[in-house]
């Protein structure tokens, strides 16, 4: 386990070093991308050589962030990770290349494993981009417009557009500072929250069509078959967040999504409302997760899996 340091020390390390490699987590989201590229731009503004590295390709909707840095090629002398809770989350090939030589980690996950030589973790931050805002202020003063757009994206996406309960007064204060840089926050939020690719909409249409209701409409089960994925042209990234749909129906207490996988099994996502624990529900099938959102795997076809899930769901509502 590495050392814990304060943010001033983290800023000092970055000031002392050059040829800085910034690592972001696999399946990159708005927060890790916003952090990585805002820091990269800040370091390049300080005439340092810096670049961002990720195991996966960044979705093109983040192009306005990617285009804010100058591509630079170099052998790193200092490696920093942002919004990464554990080095395993770097994914391959980055994990094998740099997993055991990370000098500095800056993160906001309570589950952070302090895998770097030096670590700054603030679990009260709604987004790692909040921390990066403060770090950049220490490094080179208020972020410029491009850095601000990247950091705003990180904060907005990690808070579900300031809707989730991780949002704090400080989140809004930092967002206000970023808005003062003249960023197009309306456009950023439109791209992040109100735009879907066509394949996603086509898949949603088929998935919604599959939704069935049970137990006086307290249970909803939606299935996504491999055929639906193929017909719609949707890839795994297009499926992000789709398991929220069944629980969005008013009155549904257990919303279940059954996703057919290759190899004769199904991935199950369960979303619940009070008083049903999704974690307990999924534990019955050897899975787990959080109180309101959990998952498990069940062998068999979507029909077989749905039958087993419904049988368990019924026990929550039938008179005992």
Residues 131-150 contacting Mn ion, CB under 5 A: none
Residue nearest to Mn ion (CB): 31
Smallest separation, CB 31 to Mn ion (Å): 3
Q: What value does the CA radius of gyration of the chain take, rounded to a whole number of Å?
A: 22
| Interface residue with Mn ion, options 30, 80, 83, 89 (CB under 5 A) | 83
Q: Would you count residue 130 as binding Mn ion (CB under 5 A)?
A: no
Q: Would you count residue 103 as binding Mn ion (CB under 5 A)?
A: no
| Residue 201: half-sphere exposure toward Cβ, Cα within 13 Å | 5
**Long-range contacts from 112-115, C-beta under 8 angstroms, 24+ separation:** 112/85, 112/86, 113/1, 113/85, 113/86, 113/87, 114/1, 114/2, 114/4, 115/1, 115/2, 115/86, 115/87
Q: Would you count residue 31 as binding Mn ion (CB under 5 A)?
A: yes
Smallest separation, CB 86 to Mn ion (Å): 13
Choose between 30 and 76: whose C-beta lies nearer to Mn ion. 30
Binding string to Mn ion for residues 153 to 192, with x set by CB under 5 A, is what? -----x----------------------------------
CB 310 within 8 A of CB 219: yes
CB 210 within 8 A of CB 223: yes
CB 53 within 8 A of CB 21: yes
Count of CB atoms situated within 10 Å of the CB of 145: 13
Interface with Mn ion by CB under 5 A: which range of 125-133, 238-246, 261-269, 275-283? 125-133
Q: How far apart are CA 206 and CA 151, in angstroms?
A: 35
- If binding means CB under 5 A, how many residues of this protein chain bind Mn ion? 4
Interface with Mn ion by CB under 5 A: which range of 76-84, 98-106, 115-123, 290-298? 76-84
Choose between 158 and 260: whose C-beta lies nearer to Mn ion. 158
Choose between 83 and 204: whose C-beta lies nearer to Mn ion. 83
Q: How far apart are CA 198 and CA 191, in angstroms?
A: 14
* Site residues, Mn ion (CB under 5 A): 31, 83, 128, 158
């Amino acid at each position: 386990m590495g050392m814990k340091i304060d943010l001033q020390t983290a800023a000092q390390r970055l000031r002392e070093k050059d040829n800085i490699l910034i690592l972001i987590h696999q399946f990159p989201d708005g927060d890790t991308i916003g952090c990585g590229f805002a820091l990269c731009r800040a370091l390049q503004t300080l005439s340092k050589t810096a670049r961002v590295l990720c195991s996966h390709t960044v979705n093109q909707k983040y192009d306005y962030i990617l285009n804010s840095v100058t591509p630079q090629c170099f052998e790193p002398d200092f490696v920093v990770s942002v919004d990464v809770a554990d080095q395993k989350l770097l994914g391959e090939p980055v994990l094998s290349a740099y997993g055991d030589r990370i000098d500095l980690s800056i993160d906001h996950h309570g589950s952070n494993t302090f895998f770097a030589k030096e670590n700054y973790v603030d679990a009260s931050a709604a987004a790692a981009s909040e921390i990066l805002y403060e770090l950049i202020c220490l490094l080179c003063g208020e972020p410029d417009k491009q850095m601000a757009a990247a950091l705003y994206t990180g904060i907005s996406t990690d808070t579900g557009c300031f809707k989730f309960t991780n949002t704090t007064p400080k989140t809004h204060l930092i967002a206000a500072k970023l808005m003062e840089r003249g960023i197009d926050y309306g456009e950023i939020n439109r791209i992040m929250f109100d735009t879907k690719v066509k394949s996603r909409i086509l898949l949603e249409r088929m998935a919604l069509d599959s939704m069935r209701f049970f137990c006086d409409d307290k249970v909803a089960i939606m299935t996504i078959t491999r055929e639906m994925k193929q017909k719609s042209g949707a890839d795994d990234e297009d499926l992000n967040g789709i398991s929220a749909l069944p629980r969005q129906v008013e009155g549904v207490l257990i919303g279940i999504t059954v996703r057919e996988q290759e190899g004769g099994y199904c991935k199950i996502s369960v979303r619940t409302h009070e008083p049903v624990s999704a974690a307990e529900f999924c534990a019955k099938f050897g899975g787990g997760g959080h109180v309101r959102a959990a998952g498990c795997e069940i062998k068999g076809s979507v029909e077989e899996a749905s039958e087993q899930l419904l049988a368990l769901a019924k026990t929550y509502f039938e008179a005992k």
